[in-house]
Structure 1
Amino acid sequence: MVTQEDIILIGAWLNTSKDPIVSNEQKAGAFWKKIVEYYNSSPLLVGTTPREHGQCKQRWARINDLVCKFVGCYEMALREQRSGQNDNDVMKAALDIFHSDQNMKFNLEHAWRELRHDVKWCSTYLEKDCAKEKHKPVDSVDCQGAVPEPEERLIGLKAAKSASKRKKTGKEEELTKLEGMLEIKKQISKQSLLDRLLAKPEPLFEMELALKMKLMSEMLCDD
């Protein structure tokens, strides 16, 4: 049951972090309120005790922290992969590395498989990894809170629409412009992440390669 609950919580975080309204308004309270609502409304949890804000936030922080650490172990196992070894061998080596580093078994493989190829979560991991390399803070996704945009903040579409309704005339054009600006910011964010991946020396890690290919595909579709 814990595995299923984790997967639902991960889905709630991913869906909410990709919501342009929530992510642009930058209100951590609203961000987690939406996650809790999404989680507790899952039909797969009917008959279970609903989780509160603090429980969801703490569980996500635990999942995110351990999965981030395991990603590093998995990448190390990939680097050390010998000829003839398959994916199962790499996984076993990664689990051994994690156990050696953390003095505990990694029991969140289900969470890792849910997160490893998601663009939003991978960009979070890569930005945090870059921050470690540079030894200085970087504006990235808060493990426990809302998702900051890389550029200056804009008000969310929801707030813009509410403002336009309060004005009797002359606001439709402004709203259209704002929607266009938000779309441009989204494309800039994707392009920036893709540029960083393209600049990295080959070979890329499995997660980085998958993210690069997905971003390139999305950019081509947008064109």
Structure 2
Amino acid sequence: MNDLVCKFCGCYEAATRQKTSGQSEGDVVKMAHQIFYNDHKIKFNLHHAWEELKNDQKWISVATAKLDGRQSSSAKKRRFEDVGQEASSQATTNGDHPAKRHVGVKAAKEGGGKRPMGDQLSASEFQGMWSLKEKDLAAKERLKKMGLLESLIAKKEPLSQFEEALRDKLITEMLG
């Protein structure tokens, strides 16, 4: 379901870019349905879900990020008014929870020295991955040395002085 709604959002954005003066919002939605049908060869029947989600914070940020600079001034004005309403008041998206507000300039500067909790989790995950990688590299190195030792032991002709020293060193490493 989520995938189809995402695809329809893309069709809606394409229809918004094709909007001409005099077209209403309903005309844009009809065009989005046509684009969706032409692209996917099925009728979009989750319009009610899209209507619920189109004003949700996630979908608004996706829509405003995808709009390019060639839009009309009325569309820009509408977008900035919508963003302004969200930021200035505690606008609710579903009636219960306030929309997440962007961090102000002063708050971002003051909190610049502090690490957010997400970075700490990333650092601990990185440490865990690094320790696993070190163990993996050590096991590969041990296997490489075992293969070299095996080839020295299996050699039929007499070993040179260097090969004997290497064989003895590898045996003491493996046993010690």
TM-score scaled by length of structure 1: 0.32
Q: Which has the higher contact order (CA 8 A, sep 6+)?
A: 1
TM-score scaled by length of structure 2: 0.40
Which of the two has higher C-alpha Rg? 2
